[in-house]
Structure 1
């Protein structure tokens, strides 16, 4: 530098400043290792937090699913009870209809016998009346 117009003292001062700038602005392998270790620690913390959050969400979802499943089972049980009640009602109505049909048959049979006997009595009376 002295060849370009700097004095010895200026050249030394400039060299010292450049060395200082380089030393303060350049990262060493130790600096990079320290940053890498800090980043790895941060990543591990984030990963642990994410795992905890995922476990919490999973537990909440399992609880929700269990609640829905229990509610569905209760609903199914209620529907089964209702179906059983309807089946009983149908059986009762069927039994009542069978009784009504049997009674109607008996009444119809009585009426038919009565009509047949009445017609036979009229015919007998007419025949006896014609023969006498």
Structure 2
């Protein structure tokens, strides 16, 4: 019985030793928690950088669009000025044409008067 008692007492001592050991002697649970926290921080940082990049791209696009709109507005003004000048030239040519008609009519009258004299 003494052998049996020593086996049981050894087993009991081993049981107490196992119970006395920490549940996670290698710290795997803590490592897992730290790793998950790190992954979360990395994900948050990536999301933050992604949002910053998106905002920057949107601002750049808006700036480019504004610049293009301003250039288009300037070009429209320039073309309107050219059209206005062309219309003025057209009026001048019409006036010249009318003056030419007046001159022809005047010349005809003079010739008619000369014939009468």
Report TM bin, short chain: 0.7 to 0.9
Give 1:57's match in structure 2, choosing from 39, 46, 52: 39
Could you list the runs of 5+ residues in structure 1 that have no partner in the other structure? 1-18
Query: Any stretches of 5+ residues in structure 2 without a counterpart?
Result: none
| Aligned length in residues | 112
Choose from 93, 96, 112 the match for 1:114. Answer: 96
Query: Which has the bigger relative contact order, CA under 8 A and spacing at least 6?
Result: 1
- 1:78 aligned to 50, 60, 73, which one? 60
For residues 40-63 of structure 1, the C-alpha deviation after alignment (integer angstroms, 9 at most, x for no partner) is 8139x4333222211110101111
SS at match of 1:41: coil
Cα separation, 2, equivalents of 1:33 and 1:120: 130
Aligned residue in 2 for 1:15: none
Moved over 2 A (4+): 28-38, 45-49
Larger gyration radius, structure 1 or structure 2? 1
Equivalent positions of 1:18-29 (< 5 A) are: 23=7
Measured in 2, the distance between the counterparts of 1:99 and 1:53 equals: 68
The RMSD of aligned alpha carbons is 3.1
